[in-house]
A and B are shown apart, each in its own frame.
Chain A
C-alpha cells in the first residue's frame, strides 16, 4: 500500500475524506486495481469461489437469526416448528438457510472441479488447493450436522444412516460412536454435539481456512487455463479486481440472492413429523444429494458378497481422496508426461462416476417408492 502518497493529496472535507484519511480507502482501491484478473472464455469459473463466499455470508446472517429462536435439546423440534409456522418471516430465514447451504455446496463443488480442470493445484498453489479441499470437507460436515438440528424424523434417520456406515470398521466405528453419536442411538445427545459442531467448531475452522485460502490467492494470483498459458505470444487480456471484477461479482451475487429467495418462496422448507425412535423408518429415506454418490457407492459395493465388497467400497473412496491429495505431486514439473496427463483424466472419470452414482441412487429410490 502506497501510504507515501497520502501527503500529496489535497485535504478535502466531507465524510469520504474523513474516512479515507483513517481507513486508507483510496489506497485500498489503488491496490485492488493493481490486482489483475485474466479475462477469457472461462472467466466465469473465477466467480465461483466468490459466489460460495457470498452464500457463506448468507449462512452467517440467517444462522445468527435462527439461533435467536432455536433451542437445542428437548425443545428443539418445537422451536423449529415455531420458526416455521408462527414467527414472522421465520419460515423465510429457515428456508433461505437451507437453500443457501445447498447452493454453497454446489458452488464449492463446481469451484473445485473448475480449479482441478485448470490444473490450478500445481506449484506454487498446492496449499491453496489443500485449503480449498479442507473447506469443502468442512462445508459438507456443516450441511450434515445442520440436518439433524430440527430433530424431525427424516433428519434423525438420515443421521442414523450415515453414522451407521462406519460402525463395522474397527478404527472408525468406535471413534464415530464415541465422538459423534454419544450413546447407543442417534438421539438428543447426538443432536447436542452436532449443534456445538454446527455453530462453533466448524464455522471457526471454516473462517480460519478461508483467511488462509484468500491470502494464498492474493499472493499467487489466479491460475490461468492451459490453453491461455500455452499461447505466450498473445498476452491474455486482464481486468482489474477493483472496480470491474467486483462489480461483476456484485451483480452475480444479487442474482444469486434472487435465486435463493425464489427457491425459498416457491419451495419453502417444510417440517416433517418429530423424531420418534420407535416409529419405523419412512420409505425412501436417504441422505442429501451431496452425499448420495459416496453413499450409493458403499451400498452398491456392499452387494458383492464377502469382505471384498466392503474393501472395494472403502478402498474406492480412499483412492478418490488420495487422488485429490496427490494431484499436485503427480502433476509436478519434471514428472513423466503420462503421469501429468493422468490427473485431469482421472479427475474427470471420478466426476462422471459421481454423477452416474448420484443419478443411479435417485433412480433406485424412485424405483423403491413405486407402489
Chain B
C-alpha cells in the first residue's frame, strides 16, 4: 500500500472515473470521426461547387472545435487525475511500461489540437487546397491518437503471453511492441473506428436538426441524408468486429458474459451481461430510429428526434465502456496486476509480512501496536480487550481502504453494507476465508485474492462486521447467509436504511 486511498463516499473512486470517462469517450471519439467527416464533406462540397454546404460546414467546424478541443481536452486531463487517484499502482505500471507511447500520443494530440484551430480559422484566409490539406492533417493526427491509446486500453485486458513472460523476467520494456500490438488490438481498433464514424454521423445529425426545414429545406435534407450514411459502416461491420473482439477475450472473462443470462444474483457481476444487452439494443435502435426519423423525412428532423438519438449513443458508449472495464475483473492488467493494486507475483510475500508492513500511511506507533498484538495473540480471533479490538478494527480499516475501496463503497455504489447483508464477525471471517481461498473459491473468478496477514484479516473481518450492522436492527436476528447460495434473493433495498 504505497499510495493513499481515494475515499469518495457513495459514488466511489471508480464511479467518478466512470462519469468522466464516459463523457470523454463520447467527445474524443467524435473528435476522431468528425475529423474525417469535415474534410470529406468539404472535398465533396468543393468538387460539386456547393457554396451553401461550405458555409454550413464552416459553422459546424466551430461547434466541432469548441466541443472537442475544450470539453474533450479538459475531460482527458480529468481522466488522468482520476486514474492516478483511483488506482495509482496501475497508472504507474502503465506509464512505466509505455513511456514512448504516451510521449508520441501527446505529439499527435498537439498536432490534432493545432490543426483543429487552424482549420476553423482559415476557411476564408487560405486557398481551398491548403485548407483541405489542413483538414486531412487533422484527420490523420486524431486517428493516430486513437491508434496509440487503443493499444494501451486493450493491453490491460489482453496483454498477451510475450509481454507477460518478459514482465515476469523483469524485462517489460523490451516487450513494448508486443504489449502495444496485443491480441485485442486490431478487433478493438476496428470497433472503435466504426464507433467514431457513427458518432460523427450522430453529432452531425444533432447539428443539422437545428437547421430550419422550411427556409433551408433542400440543404437540410441533403446534410441529414448524407450524415445518416456515416452510420452504415457500423451497421454492416460491427457484428463482425464484435465477434472477433470477443474471441480474443480470455475464457474466464467471457464466462462472466454468460453468467448474467440466467440470474441477477451474484452481486454486480451479472451486470456485464446486462450491459452487453444494452449496447446491442441501443445500437440497433440508433440505426433504426435514424432511418425512420432522419433518412425518410429529413426536413422534419428536429432536435426532438436528434437528442434522443444522441442520448442513446451516450447510453451505448457508457454501457460498452463499463462492460469492458468489468470484463477485466479481477485484474487491472490481466495476469500482472490485480484491481486491488497488488501485483500477482507479490501475493504470497505480502501475505507473509503483512499488507500494511511497508505502508507509509501507517504511523510508527500503530506499526508497533500491531506487531505487539501479533506477538501476544497468535490466534487474533481470541482478542477481546476493548482497546486491542479498536486497534484491530483500525488495522482492518486500513486494509479496507487499500484493497476494497478501488471497487466498492461503504454504502453507495457496490455498497458493502448491502452486499454483506448483515453478516456478523463469524460471517465476515468465513467470507474473507473464501476470498483468500484457492482457485475453487466461487469469488476468485471476479474478485482479487485477499492479501493480508492473519492479524490484518481478523481486523478486516471485525471492521466489515461493524460496517454490516444496519442502522435499525430488524426484530429477528439476521440469518447467516451461506456464501455459496448464489440464488439467494438480494435484500430489498428500499427497506434497508442507509446512513
Task: List residues of A whose CB falls within 8 A of some B CB.
Answer: 44, 81, 84-92, 95, 152, 154, 243-244, 247-248, 250-251, 254-255, 257-258, 261-262, 264-266, 268, 270-273, 280, 282-284, 369-371
Contacts and interface: CB of A to CB of B under 8 A. Distances in A.
B297 interface: yes
A107 to B, nearest CB: 16
A261 B278 contact: yes
Q: Output the residue of A95, A254, A261 with the most chain B CB within 10 A.
A: A254
Contacts of A152: 492
A265 B278 contact: yes
B265 A272 contact: no
Interface stretch (B96-104, B227-235, B286-294): B286-294
Interface residues of B, number: 40
Contacts of B289: 251, 254-255
B497 A84 contact: no
B261 interface: yes
A282 B378 CA distance: 43
Nearest to A89: B261
Nearest to A94: B264
Interface stretch (B156-164, B304-312, B459-467): B304-312
Contacts, number: 108
Contacts of B490: 270-271
Nearest to A274: B489
Contact of B489 (A257, A264, A266, A273): A273
17 contacts: A85-B264, A85-B487, A89-B261, A154-B494, A247-B293, A250-B292, A254-B289, A257-B285, A258-B315, A265-B319, A270-B492, A282-B492, A283-B495, A369-B497, A370-B497, A371-B472, A371-B497
A129 to B, nearest CB: 27
Given A247-B297, A268-B274, A88 B497 contact: no
B277 interface: yes
Contacts of A268: 264, 274
B487 A86 contact: yes
Contact of A270 (B262, B264, B292, B471): B264
B411 to A, nearest CB: 13
Interface centre among B297, B487, B495 (most CB of A within 10 A): B495
B312 A258 contact: yes
Interface in B247-290: 261-265, 271, 274-275, 277-278, 281-282, 285, 288-289
A280 B475 contact: yes
Given A86-B262, A257-B285, A265-B319, 11 more contacts: A84-B264, A85-B486, A91-B262, A92-B277, A247-B292, A247-B293, A251-B292, A257-B281, A273-B492, A371-B472, A371-B497
Nearest to A285: B495
A216 B462 CA distance: 68
A226 to B, nearest CB: 22
Nearest to B280: A261
Smallest CB-CB A-B distances: 7 pairs = A272-B492, A265-B274, A251-B292, A371-B471, A85-B487, A282-B495, A91-B264
A255 B312 CA distance: 8
A258 B277 CA distance: 10
Nearest to B284: A254
B74 interface: no
A44 B304 contact: yes
Contact of A262 (B278, B297, B489): B278
Interface of B: 261-265, 271, 274-275, 277-278, 281-282, 285, 288-289, 292-293, 296-297, 300, 304-305, 308, 312, 315, 319, 471-472, 475, 486-487, 489-495, 497, 499
Given A254-B289, A258-B285, A244 B297 contact: yes
Given A273-B489, A282-B495, A258 B281 contact: yes
Contacts of A254: 285, 288-289, 292
B489 A91 contact: no
Nearest to A243: B296
A371 B486 CA distance: 31
Contacts of B486: 85
B492 to A, nearest CB: 4
A92 B282 CA distance: 16
A27 B396 CA distance: 76
Contacts of A154: 492, 494-495
Nearest to B262: A88
Nearest to B258: A88
A88 B261 contact: yes
B495 A91 contact: no
B487 A81 contact: yes
B315 A91 contact: no
B270 to A, nearest CB: 8
A87 B285 CA distance: 26
B308 A272 contact: no
Given A257-B285, A265-B275, A271 B489 contact: yes
A275 to B, nearest CB: 13
Contacts of A272: 489, 491-492, 495
Contact of B262 (A90, A280, A283): A90
Contacts of B263: 84-86, 91
A261 B293 contact: no
B264 A247 contact: no
B296 to A, nearest CB: 6
A85 B489 CA distance: 8
A81 B489 contact: yes
A254 B495 CA distance: 34
B489 A261 contact: no
Contact of A266 (B274, B281, B285, B495): B274
Nearest to B487: A85
For B278, B300, B494, the residue with the greatest tally of chain A CB atoms inside 10 Å of its CB is B494
A265 B288 contact: no
B497 A255 contact: no
Contacts of B493: 270
Contacts of B275: 265
Contacts of A258: 281-282, 285, 312, 315
A84 B472 contact: no
Given A84-B489, A251-B289, A262 B264 contact: no
B457 to A, nearest CB: 30
Nearest to A249: B292
B265 A85 contact: yes
A247 B296 contact: yes
A89 B263 CA distance: 7
A247 B312 CA distance: 18
Nearest to A154: B492
A244 B292 CA distance: 9
Contacts of A266: 274, 278
B327 to A, nearest CB: 16
A284 B494 contact: yes
Nearest to B497: A369
Nearest to A365: B494
B387 to A, nearest CB: 28
Contacts of A243: 296
A272 B489 CA distance: 7
B207 to A, nearest CB: 19
Given A261-B277, A265-B278, A284 B495 contact: yes
A243 to B, nearest CB: 8
B316 to A, nearest CB: 9
B312 A87 contact: no
A296 B453 CA distance: 55
Nearest to B470: A371
A127 B304 CA distance: 32
Contacts of B288: 251, 254
Contacts of B492: 152, 154, 270-273, 282
A176 to B, nearest CB: 26
Nearest to A80: B489
A243 B493 CA distance: 45
A170 B300 CA distance: 58
